[in-house]
């Protein structure tokens, strides 16, 4: 059952347009902050950077970079969910409030949209693999018992029925465990491909925590929910004013871009495949690194 969660979590991550849109908003915001520097043309960022967005604050000391990103998404999703902007100027406070609610409603759905990711983050790979190994070991003990068949049969003929039943059980159990091992290998390969899809390096070392991609996204969703509640309580004029006053300290990491945005119809480029047609492409992109965590690469297909 856990392997199903892993497969579903990988599919959800790679096919969620809202999640990819949010990553794109983070990237563009980081580039805007770094405009005029050698980090102002970033093409990707480490996925762990998502967890730092709430630590980068504006000069008011309250509004974070994630607040500003959420506000940008809200503005985009609010207009998309209603009439075109040309038909609905939205100059009145009531109209702006409606757009804000619409956008927040869309963002609030991301946690549900990635529910399989949250489930996968609660699973422990070592425990699951250990349970499977113990089952295989116990079956080996059953097989050894069945080797005593001839000895027991000479001493007591009434044991034949027991051995026949155990024979059938052993055959079925071995087939089932074999199937479970194949499913485990397939799920772990899918998780690895998904990590590489966001990482952008097909030659990356095996991570010590293969499920970290799920844990990072799950933690980010918790932070995002909290920020959405804050934004819902904050007047838009306050958010807009704070968004103009971000300052990046010398030690702050902002997303270096290492991917390229591809149109939905694109069929070119690439390799890695995934959620809608290929997470490969942009292998020759620039390589700016962030401090801490895995490097993240996002390809829109």
Please give the CATH number for the structural domain made up of 1-80+94-205+231-241. Answer: 1.20.58.2220
Contact between residue 290 and residue 66 where contact means Cβ atoms under 8 Å apart: no
pLDDT tens digit sequence for 17-68 = 999 999 888 888 888 877 777 666 777 777 888 999 988 887 777 788 898 8
Please check whether residue 296 is in contact with residue 46, taking contact to mean a CB–CB distance below 8 angstroms: yes
| Residues 99/107, Cβ–Cβ less than 8 Å | no
Give burial (CB, 10 Å; 0-12/13-18/19+) of 12.
Answer: buried
pLDDT classification of 12: cutoffs 50, 70, 90:
very high
Instruction: Tell me the domain boundaries of the chain.
Output: 1-80+94-205+231-241
Contacts of 155 (CB under 8 A, 6+ apart): none
Note the pLDDT of residue 289. 33
Q: What is the pLDDT of residue 144?
A: 75
Confidence of residue 292 (pLDDT cuts 50, 70, 90): very low
Least confident of 43-47, 67-71, 226-230, 253-257: 253-257
Could you give the CA distance from residue 60 to residue 244 in angstroms, rounded to a whole number? 11
Question: In this structure, what are the phi and psi dihedrals at residue 300, rounded to the nearest 5 degrees?
Answer: -95, 125
Using the structure block, give the residue that is written with the tokens 């409603």.
105
Beta strands in 88-169 (DSSP E): none
Other CB atoms within 10 Å distance of the CB of residue 257: 24
Task: Give the global pTM.
Answer: 0.65
* Tens-digit pLDDT profile for residues 89-140: 545 567 777 778 888 888 888 999 999 999 999 887 667 777 778 887 877 8
Q: What is the pLDDT of residues 157-196, one digit of tens each?
A: 556 677 777 778 888 888 888 888 888 888 889 998 888 8
Q: Residue 285 — pLDDT band, cuts 50, 70, 90?
A: very low
């Amino acid at each position: 059952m856990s392997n199903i969660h892993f497969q579903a979590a990988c599919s959800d991550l790679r096919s969620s347009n809202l999640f990819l849109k949010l990553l794109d908003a983070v990237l563009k915001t980081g580039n805007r902050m770094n405009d005029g520097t050698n980090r102002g043309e970033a093409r990707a960022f480490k996925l762990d950077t998502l967890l730092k967005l709430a630590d980068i604050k504006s000069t008011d000391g309250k509004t974070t970079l994630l607040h500003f990103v959420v506000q940008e998404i809200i503005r985009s999703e609010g207009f998309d969910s209603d009439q075109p902007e040309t038909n609905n100027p939205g100059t009145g406070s009531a109209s702006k409030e409606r757009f804000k609610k619409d956008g927040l409603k869309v963002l609030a759905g991301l946690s549900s949209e990635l529910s399989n990711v949250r489930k996968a983050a609660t699973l422990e790979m070592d425990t699951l693999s250990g349970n499977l190994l113990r089952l295989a070991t116990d079956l080996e003990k059953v097989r050894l018992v069945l080797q005593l068949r001839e000895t027991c049969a000479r001493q007591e003929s009434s044991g034949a029925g027991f051995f026949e039943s155990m024979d059938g059980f052993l055959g079925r159990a071995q087939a089932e465990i074999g199937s479970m091992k194949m499913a485990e290998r397939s799920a772990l390969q899918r998780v690895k491909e998904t990590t590489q899809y966001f990482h952008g390096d097909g030659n990356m070392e095996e991570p010590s925590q293969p499920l970290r991609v799920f844990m990072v996204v799950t933690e980010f969703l918790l932070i995002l929910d909290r920020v959405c509640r804050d934004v819902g309580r904050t007047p838009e004029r306050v958010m807009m004013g704070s968004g103009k006053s971000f300052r990046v300290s010398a030690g702050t990491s902002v997303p270096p871009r290492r991917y390229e945005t591809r149109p939905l119809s694109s069929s070119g480029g690439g390799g890695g495949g995934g959620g809608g047609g290929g997470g490969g492409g942009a292998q020759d992109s620039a390589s700016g690194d962030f401090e801490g965590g895995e490097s993240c690469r996002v390809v829109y297909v």
